[in-house]
Homo-oligomer: A and B are copies of this chain.
Amino acid sequence: MLEAAELGAKLKKATYEQRLPQLRADLIQAQQDLRSAGFSVIVLIAGDDHRGCHAAINTLNEWLDPRGIRVHVFEDPTQEEAERPVYWRYWRALPAAGRIGIFSGAWMFRAVADRLCKRTREAEFDVALERIRRFEGELADAGTLVVKFWLHQPEKPAVAELEKVREHPERYGAFGRTDQAMLDDFTRSMKVVERSLRETESAAIPWHLVESTDKRHRDWTIAATLLAALQRHLGRGAAGDPAAATAWYGTPDHCSILDTVDLAQHLDKDDYRKLLAKRQRKIRKLTLGHNAASPTAVLVFEGWDAAGKGGVIRRLCAAIDAPCYDVVPIAAPSDEERAHHYLWRFWRHIPRRGHITVFDRSWYGRVLVERVEGFAREDEWRRAYAEITDFEEQLVEAGIAVCKFWLHIDRDEQLARFEAREQTPFKRYKITEEDYRNREQWPAYEQAVNDMIAHTSSEFAPWH
């Protein structure tokens, strides 16, 4: 999940300075429109990079009209606050209709910090996350626009900064217990963060994960995302073509998690054959003599057209004992499937103990093809992230290993493969007009894949 904010995203100074005046003008305009609207806005800025959070809030404060906003920083509870229910201080700070409240850390950082510093146990942490869900849900139900940002830094810069702060608190501000916990075990800390984000995500109130290493990228992303959310909630799109406007406000320097895949990786043909045979023998051994101790697994293959899903699945299944597995190819749903919840047709194929089900394409169609082609409405595919995570969690809880693979190639490689297929008689059937049509949508799919990985790569079912 957090890997989607570890891409080294940067915004060039020239682009930033050229576009900023327009963004700021649009923000002020949206704020003016908000004044007479019947709802309030809560901007929650939290993150493992909490120095970044403070800096981002300062920027937002500078860019917005100060008369319509109020910033709330929640330190340790005051005596007044400690003597009342935990959420008392948050309720008191809620902005009135027409106004924006900027909340620094607040309920979210509190829940994460308590767990990081082991002030809460696992079960209490669960309760705290459930409390957040309810609180934010009640606000959203009442029409409040809640926009949540989580600011993340990759381990290296984060640890470097934390060590700097520990050395020179007089220069960089207090070094707190949460900082210490992150330095002690960064991996565990990020697991706590991922769990918190996952459990408090909903279609109505999604998390916006922001890579905060580059200041310009951070501030631009926050302001532009807030602006888009405001305009949507006000029922006003940006002027002109909405798609163009989205592109304009989106992070100008394009950056996708797929870019981090090293496409130059290569395996020598002989090595490949030896390795493949070895792995296949291992798989055969695991599944042979199919019984209750055999592994139960769901394998999900997604990827670009011509990325090689079919070949991988064929070589994999060649190794599995036949009664142990099923391959389920997913195409457009049947009439019966269409008359049910979109997850129903996948639930049908869940393997029993000791079986393996291989999905050639899967429920991720909801957030890929259905999103890109407009078969699912935006609220539907946004909601699907949480539904899918919930679904996979149930599989894992039942003892099923869930392995998800995205087979990645670049656009040129795809074209080369398309052309090669057309030259090979027994592969020609695989290439249709639609494949070329899908190719046109490459950037839209890239965005969808990026969001999919950001939202559904959980510790119990990560994407490979």
Contacts and interface: CB of A to CB of B under 8 A. Distances in A.
A26 interface: no
Nearest to A81: B352
13 contacts: A83-B353, A84-B351, A84-B353, A85-B394, A85-B398, A85-B400, A88-B350, A91-B341, A94-B340, A96-B336, A96-B339, A126-B126, A144-B341
A127 to B, nearest CB: 8
A395 interface: yes
Q: Which of A85, A138, A203, A387 has the most chain B CB atoms closer than 10 A to its own CB? A: A85
B400 A83 contact: no
Given A85-B395, A85-B397, A97 B347 contact: no
A86 B398 contact: yes
Q: Report whether over half of chain A's contact residues are helix, strand or loop; otherwise say mixed.
A: loop
A454 to B, nearest CB: 21
Contacts of A398: 84-86
B353 A387 contact: no
A410 interface: no
A405 interface: no
A363 to B, nearest CB: 12
Given A387-B138, A398-B84, A94 B344 contact: yes
Interface residues of A, number: 46
Given A86-B394, A123-B123, A395-B85, A92 B139 contact: no
A342 interface: yes
A141 interface: yes
A131 B397 CA distance: 12
A92 B350 CA distance: 10
A411 B383 CA distance: 50
Q: Which of A80, A92, A141 has the most chain B CB atoms closer than 10 A to its own CB? A: A141
